[in-house]
């Protein structure tokens, strides 16, 4: 009886442990470290500090002067971090193709395929199934539309080569809060916004 129970326990444990190892589908990968983690963490830390600052001020733990000075310091820091995160995000499309880039790449691959098909047909008897296509790589010339004049421009451009507008987010001159084109007043300080050409 004990031997049967022991074997049963071993069998159940073995099955439970080995079950996930069976090969039914390609192995998914564990998520790897993202490059922005540190920046995002610092941004969150700064935002938390800003919130704490306001609560401390509301409770009377900080004088208005200290509050204003420290708030400015942390807002500047938050802005710098946001800009760094934005820069990282705008750099990412260079390594990841845009929609236009993907379409251009598909077109190129189709053309290549059409060219190689007659060759394959001529070389009948070989093993075409084992022939591997070259891996699609993003085009270095990937383009995206300019937010102002909608011309197709390189994704890495800092200024539009057609209308000259700056491709970095515009910021309020008074409080440095980013704003979108067409906005007339700052959402944070209420200051009138003036478009700075070619900034």
Partner 1 sequence: MASLGSLALFLTLAVSIYATVVSWLGGRTGRLELVASARNAIFAIAGLTSLATFLLLYAFLTHDFRIEYVALYSSRDMSPTYVIASLWAGSEGSLLFWAWTMSIFASILAFHNRNLTNPLIPYVFAVVMTVQAFFSVLMAFVTNPFQTVPFPPPDGRGLNPLLENMGMFFHPPTLLLGYMGFTIPFAFAIAAMATRRLSSEWLTSIRRWTLIAWLFLGVGNILGMQWAYVELGWGGFWGWDPVENASFMPWLAATAFLHSVMIQKRRGMLKIWNIVLIIITFNLSIFGTFLTRSGVLSSVHSFGQSALGPFFIAFLAVGLLGSLGLLYSRRNYLKSEDELDSLISRESSFLFNNLILVGATFATFLGVIFPLISEATRGVKITVGPPFYNQVNGPIFMFLLLLMGICPLIGWRRASRANLLRNFLYPSIAGVVVAVAMIAVGLRQTWSVIAISTSAFVLSTILLEWFRGVRARRHTRQENYFHAFIRLVLSNRPRYGGYIVHLGIIILAFSIAGTMGYNTSKEVSIKPGESLSIGKYTLRYDSMSQYKTARKDVVVANLTVFNAGERIGTMSPEKFTPIYYNQDVTEVAIRSNLEEDLYVILMGWDRIGGVTAFKVIINPLMAWMWIGSIVLVGGGIFALWPERGRRPVRRGT
Residue ranges in contact with partner 1 by CB under 8 A: 2, 5-6, 9-10, 12-13, 16-21, 27-33, 37-38, 40-42, 44-45, 48-49, 52-53, 55-63, 65-66, 70
Q: C-beta of 36: minimal distance to partner 1 in Å?
A: 10
Nearer to partner 1, 56 or 100 (CB): 56
Nearer to partner 1, 10 or 136 (CB): 10
- At residue 192, the 3 state secondary structure works out as strand
Q: C-beta of 32: minimal distance to partner 1 in Å?
A: 7
Q: C-beta of 162: minimal distance to partner 1 in Å?
A: 40
Q: C-beta of 87: minimal distance to partner 1 in Å?
A: 18
Could you give the angle at which helices 37-59 and 64-95 cross, rounded to 10 degrees? Answer: 160
**24 DSSP 8-state letter:** S
**185 DSSP 8-state letter:** B
Q: C-beta of 13: minimal distance to partner 1 in Å?
A: 5
What CA–CA distance (Å, rounded) separates 189 from 169? 17
Nearer to partner 1, 37 or 125 (CB): 37
Nearer to partner 1, 61 or 126 (CB): 61
Nearer to partner 1, 13 or 106 (CB): 13
What CA–CA distance (Å, rounded) separates 188 from 175? 8
What CA–CA distance (Å, rounded) separates 149 from 98? 18
Q: What are phi and psi of 8, to 5 degrees?
A: -60, -45
Residue (of 192, 194, 145, 138) closest to 167 by Cα position? 145
């Amino acid at each position: 009886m004990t031997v049967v129970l022991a074997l049963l326990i071993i069998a159940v444990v073995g099955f439970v442990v080995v079950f996930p190892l069976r090969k039914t589908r390609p192995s998914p990968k564990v998520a790897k470290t993202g490059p922005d983690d540190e920046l995002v963490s610092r941004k969150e830390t700064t935002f938390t500090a800003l919130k704490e600052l306001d609560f401390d001020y509301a409770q009377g733990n900080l004088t208005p002067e200290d509050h204003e000075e420290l708030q400015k310091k942390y807002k500047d820091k938050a802005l710098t971090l946001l800009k760094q995160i934005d820069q990282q995000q705008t750099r990412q499309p260079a390594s990841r193709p845009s929609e236009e880039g993907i379409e251009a790449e598909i077109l190129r691959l189709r053309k290549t395929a059409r060219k190689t098909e007659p060759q394959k047909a001529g070389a009948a008897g070989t093993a075409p199934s084992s022939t591997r296509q070259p891996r699609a790589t993003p085009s270095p010339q990937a383009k995206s539309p300019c937010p102002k004049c909608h011309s197709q421009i390189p994704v890495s451009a800092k200024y539009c080569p057609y209308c000259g507008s700056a491709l970095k987010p515009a910021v309020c001159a008074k409080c440095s809060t980013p704003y979108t084109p067409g906005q007339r007043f700052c959402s944070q300080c209420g200051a009138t916004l003036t478009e700075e050409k070619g900034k």
